[in-house]
Amino acid sequence: MKRRSIAYSASPLLASRTPVWRSRFILAVLAAAFLGLAGRAVYVQVLDNDFFQRQGEARFARNIELPPSRGRILDRNGLILASSVAAYGIWADGADAKHPALGALANLLDMPKSALDKRIARSSDGFVYLKRQVSPEIRNKIKALGIKGVSDTKEYKREYPEGEAAAHVVGFTNIEDKGIDGAELAFNGALTGHPGSRRVLKDRMGSIIEDLRDIVQPVNGEDIQLSIDSKVQFLAYDQLRAAVEKHDAIGGSVVVLDVRTGEVLALANYPSYSPSDRRTRTGSVLRNRSMTDTFEPGSTVKPFTIGLALQRRLVTPTTVYQTAPGYMSVGRHRISDSSPHGPLTVSEIIQKSSNVGTVKISEGLPAKAMWQMYTDVGFGQKPETVFPGAAVGRLRGYDAWRTVEKATMSYGYGLSTSLFQLARAYTVFARDGDIVPTTILKTMEPVKGTTVFSSKVAADIRNMLLLATGDEGTAPRAQTLGYSVAGKTGTARKVEGKRYSNKKYRGFFVGFAPVESPRIVVGVVIDEPKKGGFYGGIVAAPVFSQTVQNTLRIMGVTPDQTVKPNINATGVKESL
């Protein structure tokens, strides 16, 4: 078959000439397109740059807050009670929901895979935390998984080396590192500091590729030095815990005050909690019992009533009162001693803790004078402390007292106080008749108190309280090796509804040492002891004894006694 050749050049279409205007039109269109693109580029990058810059930054720019390191809480010797350590918050933002390493991520975060999946799904709508306060080691393992959209932010985690022993002093913070209780809350402003900031540009994987402006560095919080001695605190807590467990009580408290400076050396409560473990921070264990719980102080008030009588020169330490047959009537009410004593001097009324003798002394005291004296030592007044939730207690106005109320108030019924208030009130006897202001911050400087009694009256009461801790007193178990001690027991029935319980008691002891030149006041309360007795001289006095001995030795106070006391006394009696 013979092929035919076709001469394409001879085609009339190709042979015809293209109009000049058509080529020029195409060139004009192309030129206009390029000019439009150039104009749009100028508009986007120069004329309306701010709008598009904002839109770009909204998608890829992030403000990263640089958290400050929270200030440390130190004891009086510089030992750490609370400090911050580096940690990380793990978060997701548009994370890859199908990444094969999500199972490993769930294990590292110690959470169920189903819970992690739900959070990852929520991250498609924006930022969501997966877990807070993760250790640097776990964070590095998470980073190595390379999961798109999962990143971290540096933060801090609070640690408390003293644990349960100092929990109610130090308190704790929440997940945002804000103080919630104790010193963490009281000094939150100083401890917190000020955060810094960093404006960065991130790629689609969440990695930082550049800083958009200068970094504003965070300002770390200030350190706070408390008056607490961590050794005294631990030993007081340890003795308290042993006593509560021994007597099967529901709780207890110990307060230790420096007589000269008003510093709080220890403030222990049991049961307690671990500030670092959120699982233990629930219920009644959070109560700072020494500050928040109030009770009728019972016989511990008798020295104040007698001190007022001495101050007004109604009695002397040797004035004798007949307390037989061990009870008396005030109107229709009967007031009794735990056992009859017969004639007692004013000093012996304290030594034997006679209700009858105290009431007879109070009969010569005006109600207004008693009320003023109780007010002066802090009863019914808001404590001067930074701790949140400190109880005021109850002290009714004197013009509302009935005769029987005035009588019962003389030996500690009809008013209420916290252990902290009661311990502070006893500084009036440990000093020269003036009550000292207290502080939880280290000061070391002697302070001037407010005069309540003369120095002569204070010295007389000290001698009486010394008798109360002797072998013939109500609290021989308060004696301690090497140091003379003075103080007063108290045992009070708890109120149930509108009646006093016959089965539930609080036993307490408040005193000071050494007697001639007191350095500390120690208050102890044991709440609802069920085993081994309930009198303050039995359940609280031994805790006082050990706390005094440990504290004075830690303070380096020279012993003032060389004779071993009889601390195994039996047959202890106590007036309610």
**442-483 residue pLDDT tens:** 998 888 999 999 999 999 999 999 999 999 888 999 999 999
- Do the domain assignments include residue 54? no
Q: Report yes or no: 492 and 415 within 8 Å, Cβ to Cβ.
A: no
Q: How far apart are CA 311 and CA 309, in angstroms?
A: 5
Q: Report yes or no: 77 and 229 within 8 Å, Cβ to Cβ.
A: yes
pLDDT number for residue 55: 60
Active site residues: 299
- The domain boundary, picked from 191, 225, 259, lies at 225
Give the tens place of pLDDT for each residue, 519-542. Answer: 999 999 999 999 999 999 999 999
User: What's the one-letter identity of residue 211?
Assistant: D
Kindly indicate the confidence band of residue 18, based on its pLDDT and cuts at 50, 70 and 90.
low
pLDDT number for residue 27: 81
Label the pairing between strands 224-225 and 73-74: parallel
Q: Are residues 194 and 260 in the same domain?
A: no
Mean pLDDT of 41-65: 66
Q: Report yes or no: 166 and 42 within 8 Å, Cβ to Cβ.
A: no
Q: Are residues 373 and 457 in the same domain?
A: yes
Q: How many CB atoms lie within 10 A of CB 78?
A: 11
CATH code at position 155:
3.90.1310.10
Nearest Cα neighbor of 343 from 325, 363, 364 is: 325
Residue 84 pairs with which residues in a beta bridge? 158
Kindly indicate the confidence band of residue 569, based on its pLDDT and cuts at 50, 70 and 90.
very low
Mean pLDDT of 102-125: 90
Residue 526 pairs with which residues in a beta bridge? 252, 507
Q: How far apart are CA 83 and CA 80, in angstroms?
A: 7
Q: How far apart are CA 153 and CA 216, in angstroms?
A: 16
- Do the domain assignments include residue 303? yes
Q: Report yes or no: 234 and 447 within 8 Å, Cβ to Cβ.
A: no
Q: Are residues 130 and 267 in the same domain?
A: no
pLDDT for residue 48 is more than 50: yes
Q: Are residues 209 and 299 in the same domain?
A: no
Q: Are residues 191 and 240 in the same domain?
A: no
pLDDT number for residue 6: 58
Six token digits for residue 7: 């001469």
194 vs 346, residue with greater confidence: 346
Q: How far apart are CA 439 and CA 425, in angstroms?
A: 14
Domain hosting residue 181, numbered range: 63-92+122-225
Q: Are residues 202 and 307 in the same domain?
A: no
Q: Are residues 329 and 190 in the same domain?
A: no
pLDDT number for residue 571: 46
Q: Are residues 145 and 269 in the same domain?
A: no
Six token digits for residue 384: 């001067």
177 vs 39, residue with greater confidence: 177
Q: How far apart are CA 124 and CA 102, in angstroms?
A: 15
Give the tens place of pLDDT for each residue, 342-363. Answer: 999 999 999 999 999 999 999 9
pLDDT number for residue 211: 62
pLDDT for residue 138 is more than 90: yes
pLDDT number for residue 36: 81
CATH code at position 497:
3.40.710.10
- The domain boundary, picked from 174, 192, 225, lies at 225
> Could you identify the residue written with the tokens 């308190």?
171
pLDDT number for residue 415: 94
Nearest Cα neighbor of 142 from 100, 97, 98, 107 is: 107
- The domain boundary, picked from 206, 225, 244, lies at 225
Six token digits for residue 44: 């986007």
Nearest Cα neighbor of 93 from 55, 123, 73 is: 123
Q: Please, what is the average pLDDT of the chain?
A: 88
pLDDT number for residue 197: 78
Q: Which DSSP helix (H) or strand (E) runs through 538?
A: helix 536-539
- Do the domain assignments include residue 404? yes
pLDDT for residue 151 is more than 50: yes
pLDDT number for residue 575: 44
Task: Give the number of domains in the chain.
Answer: 2
pLDDT for residue 227 is more than 60: yes
Mean pLDDT of 174-179: 90
Kindly indicate the confidence band of residue 278, based on its pLDDT and cuts at 50, 70 and 90.
confident
Cα dihedral 42, 43, 46, 51 in deg (nearest 10): -150
Cα dihedral 261, 438, 236, 442 in deg (nearest 10): -60
- Do the domain assignments include residue 173? yes
pLDDT number for residue 465: 97
Mean pLDDT of 302-327: 96
Q: How far apart are CA 458 and CA 426, in angstroms?
A: 10
- Do the domain assignments include residue 210? yes
Buried b (16+ CB within 10 A) or exposed e, 174-195: eeebebbbbbbbbbbeebbbee
Q: Are residues 334 and 470 in the same domain?
A: yes
Give the tens place of pLDDT for each residue, 384-436. Answer: 888 878 999 999 999 999 999 999 999 999 999 999 999 999 999 999 999 99
Residues with Cβ within 8 Å of residue 3, at least 6 apart in sequence:
none
Q: Report yes or no: 230 and 442 within 8 Å, Cβ to Cβ.
A: no
pLDDT for residue 101 is more than 60: yes
Buried b (16+ CB within 10 A) or exposed e, 257-296: bbbbbbbbbbbbbbbbbebbeeebbeeebbbbbbbbbbbb
pLDDT number for residue 51: 67
Q: Are residues 499 and 362 in the same domain?
A: yes
pLDDT for residue 5 is more than 80: no
First to last CA, the chain: 139
Q: How far apart are CA 387 and CA 523, in angstroms?
A: 18
Q: Are residues 178 and 288 in the same domain?
A: no
pLDDT number for residue 2: 55
Q: Are residues 216 and 259 in the same domain?
A: no
pLDDT for residue 570 is more than 60: no
Written as one string, the DSSP assignment of 439-500 is: BSB---S----EE-S-HHHHHHHHHHHHHHTSTTSS-GGG-BTTB--EEEEEEEEEEETTEE
- Do the domain assignments include residue 398? yes
- Do the domain assignments include residue 315? yes
Q: Which DSSP helix (H) or strand (E) runs through 14?
A: helix 12-15
pLDDT for residue 518 is more than 90: yes
pLDDT number for residue 576: 47
pLDDT number for residue 368: 97
High-pLDDT (> 90) share of the chain, %: 65
- Do the domain assignments include residue 445? yes
Q: Which of 110-119, 206-215, 269-278 has the lowest mean pLDDT?
A: 206-215
Q: How far apart are CA 31 and CA 211, in angstroms?
A: 39
Mean pLDDT of 145-160: 89
pLDDT for residue 501 is more than 50: yes
262 φ/ψ angles, rounded to the nearest 5 degrees: 75, 10
312 vs 576, residue with greater confidence: 312
Q: Report yes or no: 94 and 134 within 8 Å, Cβ to Cβ.
A: no
Q: Report yes or no: 64 and 196 within 8 Å, Cβ to Cβ.
A: no
Q: How far apart are CA 72 and CA 162, in angstroms?
A: 13
